[in-house]
Chain A
Amino acid sequence: MAGQKKLTVVISQHQGKNPVKRQLEEELAMACMMDPEIEVSIVPNLYDLSHDHSGLLFLKGIQGDVVVLSWLFPRATQWILDRTGVKGKAGTVFLVGEDDEEDEDQDEAAEKNPDAIGTLDVPNRLIYSIDLRASKDPQEFLAEIRRIVEVTSTETVDLMSWIQGEPKKEQLERYLNPQEIFGIGSSQTGSIAEVEAEEKVSRRWYPVIDYDRCTNCMECIDFCLFGVYGVDALDRILVEAQDSCKKGCPACSRVCPENAIVFPQHKTPAIAGAAGEVAGLKIDLSQLFGGGDAVEMAARERDIELLRDGRDAVGLAVGIPKRQANACGVRDELDDLIDGLDDLDL
């Protein structure tokens, strides 16, 4: 493929029709189109794409490094893509939003829980997730994209090692001319609005697991009474029936002891996948001071959904973690943590 040396930039649109957001998306798309080293495509909001949506098939077809711009926290973008099989290592992005600032010299590994099960089959390519809320100025995004172009073009990675598995024939055909699917690129009209007309995308709502945090403890599967979770062939937790999840309900994310469950469209940044601590790297103790016990709140939210389904509320009687029971094993490490709070130097 001739385009292999180009950096692919994918813009995931906002769910709504907010003109300001649309304008930013379009300006970025136009500017990227002018850049000979960039291949740009627009897809509807990543989170909403169903598994057979052509936008997703297109994403799966990209083999090299890719920049994904979306109105989501980068962690959310990364794991939404991972769930759909679009895998890669997280590229380092310097342009980050206020809610998502991390320690400058905090490396990637610091985000990971050492006990986490991680994701499998990660090809040797980088996915740069950029939050479109990080700035209002298109120039800042373009500068960041240019920077990534420079970085990636100096990398020497065997292109073939990116290719994972044999794509099906019809998929391959779609990959070969992705621009045409989306009506931009070579098309003279360049109308980005065409994208939506292609396939109708409705809003979805489901949990996304961050496998860099998840320890496979299975508390979510015990807790959810709507059959959303399952396990794969290797007994790894999996969001199996995404669309069985209840719109607006983030209950299981409160139950997960590792904060590994992301609801990308939830209004609370911590649930929507903001990195680590929100609001300037401080620990939020609101739960402690009466801001609702997370598990109680989760059970309440679950009861509301059960009642809506015409089932009986179960309160705290079903699937509630009994974490105290096996507390001993990890105790020391956590003790250290508390004792070390002073040294954390956050």
Chain B
Amino acid sequence: MAEDLVFMMGKYEARVPTDCLYSKSHLWLRKDGLRYQVGFTAYSVRLLQDVYFLDWSVDAGAQVFAKQEIGEVESSKALSTLYAPFDGRIVEFNQLLLDDPSGINTDGYGNGWLFTFETDAEPLTPEQYVEVLEGGWQKTQNMLKGQVN
């Protein structure tokens, strides 16, 4: 298998595995039959840090549109609303995470998957995703800085 791409967040190496596709909203999508398994990229996990709360505001099976609010995540340092990456349908949520979301931190590209998703959209390639990261890094830092100081 091809080696992971890496994006440097300061001194931190955010892995971008090449067997996944990506969304601009920092989710990975891995083809699994007709649907995708979806999870947080290393980049987003790095910013979130220890996730201890995850909640979905839509039901499994829901038809969603891109950028629709679908849930919330909270960690010791941050919180965020979560949005659908593309138009599509959320098939199933990862039940294990609802009890204990630590899988997001320990195995973000594996057992830490969030939900399965059906979509006709074309997600980003790993290379495109790295470009997105490169383009957005400065802004992300500004945003964090604006909130932290």
Q: Give 17 A-B contacts (CB < 8 Å), ordered by A residue.
A: A112-B149, A259-B147, A282-B75, A282-B77, A283-B77, A283-B78, A283-B144, A286-B81, A290-B66, A290-B82, A291-B67, A291-B80, A294-B143, A334-B142, A338-B12, A338-B144, A342-B49
Task: Find out whether the CB atom of B25 lies under 8 angstroms from the CB atom of A289.
Answer: yes
Q: What are the 4 tightest A-B residue pairs by CB atom distance, in nearest-first order?
A: A290-B25, A290-B83, A335-B10, A285-B80
The listed residue (B9, B66, B83, B149) touching A289 by CB distance below 8 A is: B83
Say which one of B31-39, B98-106, B132-140 lies at the interface with A.
B132-140
CB distance from B132 to the nearest CB of A (A): 11
Interface residues on A, range: 35 or more
Residues of B within 8 A of A110 (CB): 149
Q: Which one of B9, B82, B138, B148 contacts A344 once the chains associate, using CB atoms below 8 Å?
A: B148
Known: A295-B139, A334-B144, A341-B77. 5 other contacts (CB 8 A): A288-B143, A289-B80, A334-B138, A334-B145, A341-B144
**Partner among B25, B81, B138 whose Cβ is within 8 Å of the Cβ of A327:** B138
| B8 nearest CB across to chain A (Å) | 9
B residues within 8 A CB of A112?
Answer: 149
Q: Are A284 and B25 in contact (CB under 8 A)?
A: no
Taking a contact as CB atoms under 8 Å apart, the answer to whether A290 and B12 are in contact is: no
Q: How far is the CB of B36 from chain A (nearest CB, A)?
A: 16
Say whether A248 faces chain B, with CB atoms less than 8 Å apart: no
CB within 8 Å of B: which A314-346 residues: 323-324, 327, 334-339, 341-342, 344, 346
Residue A84 at the B interface, CB < 8 A?
Answer: no
How many residues does chain B have at the interface if contact means C-beta atoms less than 8 Å apart?
40
Contacts of B78 in A (CB 8 A): 282-285
Q: Is the CB of A337 within 8 A of B148?
A: yes
B residues whose Cβ falls under 8 Å from a Cβ of A? 9-12, 23-27, 44, 47-49, 66-67, 73-75, 77-85, 135, 138-149
A220 to B75, CA, bound (A): 33
Assess the B74–A290 pair: CB atoms within 8 A: no
Closest Cβ of chain B: how far from A147's Cβ, in Å? 28
Are A323 and B139 closer than 8 Å at their CB atoms?
A: yes
Task: Write out, one digit per residue, whether chain A residues 274-306 have a CB within 8 A of any chain B CB (1) or not (0).
Answer: 001101001111111111101100000000000
